[in-house]
Structure 1
Amino acid sequence: MTSKGLTLKIAERLEEPGNILRLRLARPDGAPLPKFEAGAHLDLRLNDGKVDLWRQYSLCSDPADTGFYEIGVLLDPKTRGGSAAVHKLALPGVTFEVDGPRNHFPLAETAQKTVLFGGGIGITPMLAMARRLHALGRDFVLHYCTRSHAVTAFCQIIAHAPWKDKVVFHFDDQAVEQKLDLTRDLPAPAADTHLYVCGPQGFMDWVISGAEAAGHASANIHREYFSADVDTTGQSFEVEARRSGITVTIGPADTIAKALARAGVKVEVKCEEGVCGTCVTDVLEGTPDHRDKFLTDDEREEGTMICACCSRSCSSKLVLDI
């Protein structure tokens, strides 16, 4: 279920280890919130006059609870303004514009075995998934990887969870045998075994490539990137916005979304890194040069969609249905 245009207040602000804020959001009048499915996220508008951004944060609360939403926000040292704004603005009682919940990371609830891999702040959607899988009585394990116990957030939540015995902690500063070992910790590939991966890009790429090398089908390896190092530069090309009757040139350091916006054709953009899917636009002609982390391999091969915030063109011209 998706709901747009919510106004939610910060009902609780908790400091977790590792520069992570755990925020509980609720309606100002206390009314129930729209239901969400495990893996969903919220789009939060961050506006204090100096910044005006939309950023996406995975829900870590119990999908069965409609009284509040809970998210975790890391103060990222490489922040482009979003995480710093949340840590500054998200004070008890303050209200935010919220879109969602939206879900691009859905849980296969009928899987016979599920293995969750959360790296750092990537644990947040895994908590909601663990809660849901436990409620369904499914077989699962959650591997939680951080630099050390001292910077591991949500320990108290896990310690009091009825599924705490399903969680395996891996700390980088501990003995080698305690660290995540894909040859040991990946399950055997099977049609009804599903893997979920979320965390820093390097961690995710390592787990995903290891799982593929071990024989897991790409369709059974589910992933959600919070951010990505994306190269948006390249050779110039043309983009025709067919329904708008506008054609623009995308320069070597420009993006499709920005060039179209200057010409009066608005493409909604939120993450600007090709991870949230907000800017996905249909391609009518031409060959996209995909730079995003959102589309699946099958969707990329079809070539009928493009993330306009970061991707480019392999052909001299793209025609978009906009």
Structure 2
Amino acid sequence: MTAHVTVRGLTRIFDVSKPLLNRILERRGKAFLTAVSEVDFEIEERTTYALVGESGSGKSTIGKMLVGLLNPSGGDVEVEGVNLAKETDGDKVAEVRSDIQMIFQDPYASLNPRWRVRDIIVEPVASKGGDTKGLAEKLLEQVGLHPSDAGKFPHEFSGGQRQRICIARALASNPRLIVCDEPTSALDVSVQAQVLNLMSDLKDELGLTYLLITHDLTVVRHMADRIGVLYLGRLVEEADPETLFTDPKHPYSRMLLDAAPRMDGFGREVPPPTGEIPDPIDPPSGCAFHPRCPLAADICKAERPQMRLIGTSKVACHLAE
């Protein structure tokens, strides 16, 4: 089985209305928040696709739709040739879903504190009646921990070790695709590098496909084969790391790169970019980035730009040239 992923027109709208009585008293209608809007991308098998953007850009929502924790409001998610949003054959969907796992942001919250590590790791296999003998020990060794750690509880480990246990649990059911939602953001910088190197090695060793969700551009530079930049639920640029870091086409991509902590020639820290993400319940007209964009023209306020090819990058910007 291959883990080729195709996402087309993916949209997720949340109903964030107040209760009916409040709406009647305040004479307000329903309120809807568009977290993801018409997103298209493809992940080739055995590669890493990274989604980057500020908090609230819709990265985690896309990840949850891919693993089936959320249903799309519109669009298609196709994994291994099966359209998970529209397929009616439950067995087919279950088979594909078993090839997808997720690693969450917080290794402290995603492990059951009352279970021993052995039970945590083998749970995906045990729930299907599979053979779990020696599995936890083998996987712990694979992620750089000691087989004897299987008898311990999560509180006996550091954050980096817990994230390794989460990775071992994700590997237990032999997945082809792993969605990694900010897998290192809760860890110290030195530990981040170890976990990322481990993930990279496992990808090569086991032929895994990754969707890597992060706001940290230094992470994606070394991990990703392709990067998608999200702003307010929309994909604004897609490129390979080399192109994105040396020649970003969208003003928002430039802003993200400029926002990375760095010093000027005199050793002073360069101030981060100004402005905030607009209210997703009432987004700006045209290009959602225009209120913060240094290049914004009249067309940007009036018309939503479509993705188009410029060189090897795809960009949604009227003035990208």
TM-score (norm 1): 0.31
Which structure features the higher share of strand residues?
1
Report which structure shows greater RCO (CA 8 Å, sep ≥6): 2
Structure with higher Rg: it is 2
